[in-house]
Structure 1
Amino acid sequence: MNLEKLQNRNPAMDILRIVAVLCVISIHFFYHTGYYSTTADNVPMYFATVLRTLFSVCVPLFMILSGFLLCNKTLKKGYYSGIRKTIIVYILVAIACIIYKSCNGSYTLTPLTFFTGIFDFSGANYSWYIEMYIGLFLIIPFLNIIYKNLDSRKQKNILLITLIAITILPSLFNAFKFDSYEWWANPATDTDTQKLMPSWWVDIYPITYYFTGCYIREYGTKIKNVFLIIALVIAIFGFGTFNFYRCYGSTFTTANYVYWNGIEPYVMSVLIFLIISKLKLENINVKAKFVLWKISDLVLGTYLVSFIFDSIYYYEILNINTPDFYARFPFMPLMVLWVFVSALVSSAILNIIAAGIEFCWEKICCFFRFVFKRKNKSEIIVNDKD
């Protein structure tokens, strides 16, 4: 156990990673159990909609974490090697998913599809996040230059407000149809809405979340946790109730406000991040801190490889033994736990393999550096003699 590294580690960030991956697995429950094809018109669907609304914070929490943890990174030697482990874990998961899908007949495995499945991010079904994160990681030093060179908190406020305005707020102001009384009476029957704000830049929302993490790291908040928790509860039920109203009598309406560039995930993820980051965990038990660290370290692989266990547990066990979403909904806690534990164990195995690959890579690099140094020294000696 590396006690020095453990002592310097913030357990709140480990807890946030674990909460984020649990939210990922939880929101996938709705995707795999028929929620999106079930009419929302009763109490069970209301609570399901509220939960689905809450779990949309999954990916935003990861993005805010990136800003919080990487806001001091600079463009120096060795920076880009920091993504090596992420790439190795992704490739291992992609190989595992490709093998699994080829075994169950949903993937045609050939040498070509094997390599294209890895490079086009289709092999691992949940790997879109890796595709996004690679680009974000590459530009983080430059984002940090922008943030660090703003002279005052006021300027950083303006930066964040500007990004929120062009990436998040369009989902709020472009979500209604103000000139139609009929629309307000039954919005689920008409998904057309009025555009009141420009929305061309909404796809750069990861940068908004990144700078949000930077801002929280630097300034935090003086608001007490009890008020943040009250605000979070109001947000969860307020947004959940609104979503239920928007799709009442129909199936779930996935409009922009529920996507990750939407106002709902942004507000809730910021509140959750603030609440957990303000927890006083200085005196937490060392063993508990170590466990949180190790689980947190496995979160990426858990997220990616959970696809395999989603496929097994939902489509080969739960769905064939239950008739519809109403019968499946009570099993949600158990299914999420099963997928999480199974994916976590698999991630641990993949991380061991990844560590072995990294070790071998380092040894190979050291060997070639040694060879090139000897070669250069020999050339220098020969030139001196000449």
Structure 2
Amino acid sequence: MSATRTVAVGGDTPYSIDIGPGLLGDGARLASHARGRHVLLLSDSHVAPLYAGAVEAALRAARPDLHIALHVIPAGEAHKTLASFGGVIDALAALGATRDATVYALGGGVVGDLAGFAAACWMRGVDCVQLPTTLLSMVDSSVGGKTAVDIPQGKNLVGAFHPPRAVFADTAALRTLPPRELRAGLAEVIKYGAIRDPLFFQWLEAEREALLAGDDRALAEAIARSCEHKAGIVERDPLEKGERALLNLGHTFGHAIEAEQGYAGSDRDALNHGEAVAVGMVLAARLSVRLGMAAATDTERLRSLLVACGLPTAVPAGLEPAALLARMRLDKKNLAGRLRLVLWRGLGRAEVVPDVDEARVLEILGEG
């Protein structure tokens, strides 16, 4: 196995993020985080046929005493629902999971969010180990302990903070990732350069072709640097009271697009999460220019990199600005019914802006 990189997340509930190829088959390492005998392995219909059998076999080889149940949900954001959450809870009950049980989340962000939320709620909290298999989940949703499900009114509105016990990002899993999903993950990677690290952004511009080609070295470096940024922010602001909100650059716009399209990101004509965030980042940057906060040159640089990575940068046709704005009003960052958005003053200088003028937001949404 190639060398594994480790990123430490500190704070009140410290844990490590291991990054490297072959981790899903390292039973001793995976099983070391199962405190009790009950393990629920949660996956989806795309990922389970590829990796669930190997992970379960590795766990059993390392810990023959484990009682392991596999629960598979349909793939896609449309299934990150309260009904799916109820199914995971039922699976834990059928397993007879005790308070020292562990939920292993094998898949992308939908599986990770569902597993974390169920783990947070079962017997008021059991352990969750994240096994992300998409680039997006490796650099974003698996780290930090934000767990949730969607409801028709909006994305991630029902959930809990529940930090994982450990994260294992097996970069070999990215070899089976569809090109569209790899590009979607790059949107979240680019976000870290946009909000706080211009040198990382410059590195991404230089390494774009290697990243799109699935180069192991480039991807491992991008994942590690993204996780280091997120780990530092999460350690300082675990419950999103301040700095952590910066990680949502583009997300308020993006979540509104996803909700308005009915979380149909697996469809060819609807945006998935990473694609919606790409559009959202450009809209936030353009709004920053409109408000006199930033120069248009940095916005164009961001847009150009996203386009070069095969990502959309405009609101999909057919979405009404007023409907998107109504979705944005439900965003969790808002205070006292006023829009509170993450904007920027240029590359690496994001900030939270309270009381944003809705008329300006409508202008940007209307311009696409």
Place the TM-score, normalised by the shorter chain, in its bin: under 0.3
> Which has more helix, going by share of residues?
1
TM-score, with length taken from structure 1: 0.22
> Which has more strand, going by share of residues?
2
TM-score, with length taken from structure 2: 0.22
**1 or 2 for the larger relative contact order (CA 8 Å, sep ≥6)?**
1
